[in-house]
Amino acid sequence: MSMKTFFVGAAMLIGLAGLAPSASGQDNIGGHIGFVLPLVTRANGVTTTLSDRFTIGFPIGVTFKGGSFNLDLEMVPGITASKDGQPQVVSLTVDPGVVCDLGGGVAAGLRVAFDVNSSQWGFIPLLNKSWKLKNQSGFFKAWFVEADLPIKFNRPGGSGAADSTPVTFAAHFGLGF
C-alpha cells in the first residue's frame, strides 16, 4: 500500500467520523496532556540525573474508560538538551497501557513503551494521583501527578555489544479531560 493511498483512506475515515451523531450523557472517552521529567536513570552501572542532561517529554493521551479498568493510548514527544557539542535529541515514545482506578483519585497501571526510530522497548509501571478541579464546566476536569518507572530493553540484533537495560524514575504532571 502506498503512502498516498494510506493518507487518502485515513482522510476519508476522519471525514466520515465527523458525520456521526454526537453522544450525549456519556463520558466514556477522556484524555490528558502534561509534561514528564526523568529525574534519575540507572544504566550500565552509572546513575544520571536530570541535571546531568536535561530531558523533558510532553505526554498526550486518549483514555477509553471501561469502569475501573481503562485503556490509555499515550504518545510522548521528548527533547534532550545538547551536551559536549552533540546535537539535541528529539524522540517519540508510543506507550499504550491499562490503568486501574483504585478509588479516591488514585490509579495504578502498566504501559508497554516503544521508542520510535530506536531499538528500545519496555514497560512502564505507574502510580497516579488526581484531584478534581473545582470548576468542572471547563474543558479540563482534573490535574494529576504520576510516578513512572520506565524499564527499557534493546531489541536483539543491535551493535553486538552488551545492551544496557536503563531504569528511570520519572515524574509526570498534567491535566485530565
Mean pLDDT of 117-131: 94
- Classified as helix, coil or strand, 4 is helix
In this prediction, residue 161 has a pLDDT band, given cuts at 50, 70 and 90, of very low
CA distances from 150 to 48, 73, 78, 166 (A): 14, 16, 14, 8
Buried b (16+ CB within 10 A) or exposed e, 28-65: eebbbebebebeebeeeeeeeeeeebebebebebebeb
Query: What mean pLDDT, rounded, does the chain reach?
Result: 85
Tell whether the torsion through CA atoms of 61, 152, 82 and 49 is positive or negative. positive
Q: Which residue has the cell 544520571?
A: 48
pLDDT of residue 160: 39
pLDDT of residue 21: 54
pLDDT of residue 82: 82
Q: How far is CA 165 from its chain centroid?
A: 19
CATH number assigned to the domain comprising residue 163: 2.40.160.20
Q: Which of 74, 36, 85, 31 is nearest to 56 (CA)?
A: 36
Q: Which residue has the cell 503512502?
A: 3
Residue 10: inside a domain: no
pLDDT of residue 60: 97
Between 11 and 105, the higher pLDDT residue: 105
Residue 57: inside a domain: yes
The x, y and z cell numbers of residue 84, run together, are 559536549
Mean pLDDT of 62-72: 92
- DSSP bridge partners of 40: 49, 169
Domain that holds residue 119: 27-176
Q: Which of 11, 28, 38, 40 is nearest to 69 (CA)?
A: 28
Residue 18: inside a domain: no
In this prediction, residue 5 has a pLDDT band, given cuts at 50, 70 and 90, of low
Residue 3: inside a domain: no
* Number of domains into which the chain is organized: 1
pLDDT of residue 138: 77
